[in-house]
């Protein structure tokens, strides 16, 4: 293994489909990334026969790490953290901790993954809890939005940290030197947002980030910013509302096209166009939310991901590690700290 090789630890047992999805995804990833390696973590009896179906030129860059246990999708994160020390999820994170892998990916229980990632990888100095940052399609490309995890009741300082982490993720994955950062806010005439959001705006202004100010809800999909910052409550609602609306429109379209013979013929004619549209916003392409603020790369895939979707999550973890997202965040936090110390020193000097 050359020093350039990046190894991804894959929790092969997580998600709705387990190894039947995760193993093919890992091998497809290897095919597309000639310099990468994977460690398939899970029940070796299940993994070995699947792996054996692939050519040696690929499988020589894959190894298996046996794990006895699996974290159940409905298991309490606290109990999973306590009891599942031999789980595939835990062992995959251990590999990152030990430096044997540079990133890990899991489609398992979100709460358990957050708790374990935090416990095993530890937080960066000054960050309390990991933030969950997915990537979402927009009119003009895509947007990173955070927090979509469980960080409710955020302080202005937390929102600032989200801005830093999101910007560094965008810079690592999209190679943008100064991605634009927007603060999710409301547009009422008299009162622009609540107290915390107002304060966060002030902090972001003085952060050194490319902060573009407030972004309203519709701005997310208009591509108003590369990164949109909000607390976990608002972010969760925004994401779920989008899912619900897209589902409603999709189902209604099906119903309308299914009404009669003529509409079914129209559906046939429209099918290639509708397929293109579907491909354009294919949620599988956007699979893989980054857990940020940790001392290592941990990526969460949707539980229902298929092999194509799970491969995207692996590729995203690979890019994050390859382009040093953790080091970027760490440097940006240090920079902010230094900037504040300098400002405080200058203020002291003035007062003296």
CB of 71 to a second copy, least distance (A): 12
Q: Which of 4, 56, 57, 189 binds a second copy (CB under 8 A)?
A: 189
Q: Which residue lies nearer to a second copy by CB, 231 or 311? A: 231
DSSP, res 164: H
Can you tell me the distance from the alpha carbon of 235 to that of 229, in angstroms, rounded to the nearest whole number?
A: 8
The stretch among 12-20, 161-169, 231-239, 304-312 that binds a second copy (CB under 8 A) is 231-239
Nearest CA to 316 out of 167, 106, 34 is that of 106
CB of 150 to a second copy, least distance (A): 4
Q: Which residue lies nearer to a second copy by CB, 164 or 220? A: 220
Can you tell me the distance from the alpha carbon of 261 to that of 239, in angstroms, rounded to the nearest whole number?
A: 36
Cα angle 232, 233, 239 (rounded to 5 degrees) comes to 85
* Window 97-116: contact mask with a second copy (x via CB under 8 A): ------------xxxx--x-
Pairing of the two strands 297-300 and 103-106: parallel
The stretch among 2-10, 18-26, 137-145, 162-170 that binds a second copy (CB under 8 A) is 137-145
Q: Which of 18, 232, 293, 296 binds a second copy (CB under 8 A)?
A: 232
CB of 206 to a second copy, least distance (A): 23
For the CA atoms of 179, 184, 187, 191, the dihedral, rounded to the nearest 10 degrees, stands at: -120
DSSP, res 189: S
CB of 248 to a second copy, least distance (A): 4
Interface with a second copy includes 257 (CB under 8 A)?
yes
Terminal CA-CA length for the chain: 57
3-state SS class at 84 = coil
Q: Is 91 exposed, middle or buried (0-12, 13-18, 19+ CB in 10 A)?
A: buried
Nearest CA to 236 out of 247, 244, 248, 246 is that of 244
Number of residues that bind a second copy (CB under 8 A): 71
The stretch among 55-63, 147-155, 165-173, 342-350 that binds a second copy (CB under 8 A) is 147-155
Interface with a second copy includes 269 (CB under 8 A)?
yes
Q: Which of 5, 53, 247, 334 binds a second copy (CB under 8 A)?
A: 247
CB of 169 to a second copy, least distance (A): 21
CB of 220 to a second copy, least distance (A): 6
Other beta carbons less than 10 A from residue 139's beta carbon? 8
Other beta carbons less than 10 A from residue 50's beta carbon? 19
Interface with a second copy includes 45 (CB under 8 A)?
no
* Window 48-77: contact mask with a second copy (x via CB under 8 A): ----------------------------xx
Evaluate whether 292 touches 128 at the Cβ level (below 8 Å): no
Q: Which residue lies nearer to a second copy by CB, 32 or 186? A: 186
Interface with a second copy includes 261 (CB under 8 A)?
no
Interface with a second copy includes 19 (CB under 8 A)?
no
The β-bridge partners of 229 are 146, 183
CB of 310 to a second copy, least distance (A): 21
Residues in the chain: 352
Give me the sign of the Cα torsion angle 240, 245, 250, 251.
Answer: positive
Q: Which residue lies nearer to a second copy by CB, 45 or 191? A: 191
Q: Which residues from 272-331 bind a second copy, rule CB under 8 A?
A: 272-274, 276-277, 280-281
Evaluate whether 41 touches 65 at the Cβ level (below 8 Å): yes
* Window 191-230: contact mask with a second copy (x via CB under 8 A): x-xxx-x------------------xxxxxxx-------x
Q: Which of 45, 139, 261, 352 binds a second copy (CB under 8 A)?
A: 139
CB of 151 to a second copy, least distance (A): 9
Evaluate whether 316 touches 295 at the Cβ level (below 8 Å): no
């Amino acid at each position: 293994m050359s020093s350039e090789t990046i190894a991804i630890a894959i929790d092969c047992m997580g998600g709705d489909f387990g190894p039947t999805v995760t193993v093919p995804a890992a091998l497809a990833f290897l095919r597309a990334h000639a310099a990468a390696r994977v460690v398939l973590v899970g029940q070796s009896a299940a993994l070995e026969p699947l792996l054996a179906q692939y050519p040696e030129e690929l499988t020589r860059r894959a190894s298996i790490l046996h794990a006895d246990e699996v974290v159940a999708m409905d298991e309490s994160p606290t109990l999973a953290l306590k009891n599942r020390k031999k789980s595939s999820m835990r062992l995959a994170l251990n590999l990152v901790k030990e430096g044997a892998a540079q990133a890990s990916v899991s489609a398992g229980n979100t709460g358990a993954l957050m708790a374990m990632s935090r416990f095993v990888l530890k937080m960066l100095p000054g960050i309390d809890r990991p933030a969950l940052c997915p990537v979402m399609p927009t009119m003009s490309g895509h947007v990173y939005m955070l927090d979509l995890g469980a960080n409710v009741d955020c302080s202005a300082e937390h929102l600032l940290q989200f801005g830093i982490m999101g910007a560094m993720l965008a810079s690592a994955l999209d190679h943008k030197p100064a991605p634009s950062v927007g603060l999710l806010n409301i547009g009422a005439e008299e009162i622009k947002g609540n107290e915390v959001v107002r304060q966060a705006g002030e902090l972001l202004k003085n952060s050194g980030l490319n902060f573009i100010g407030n972004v309203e809800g519709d701005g997310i999909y208009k591509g108003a910013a590369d990164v949109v910052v909000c607390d976990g409550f608002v972010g969760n609602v925004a994401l779920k509302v989008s899912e619900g609306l897209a589902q409603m429109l999709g189902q209604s379209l099906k119903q309308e096209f299914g009404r009669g013979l003529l509409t079914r013929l129209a559906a046939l004619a429209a099918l290639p166009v509708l397929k293109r549209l579907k491909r354009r916003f294919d949620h599988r392409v956007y699979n893989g939310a980054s857990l940020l603020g940790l001392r290592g790369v941990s990526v969460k895939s949707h539980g229902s991901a298929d092999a194509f979707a799970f491969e995207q999550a692996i590729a995203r973890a690979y890019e994050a590690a390859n382009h040093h997202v953790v080091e970027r965040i760490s440097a940006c936090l240090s920079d902010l700290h230094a900037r504040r110390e300098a400002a405080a020193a200058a203020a002291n000097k003035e007062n003296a």
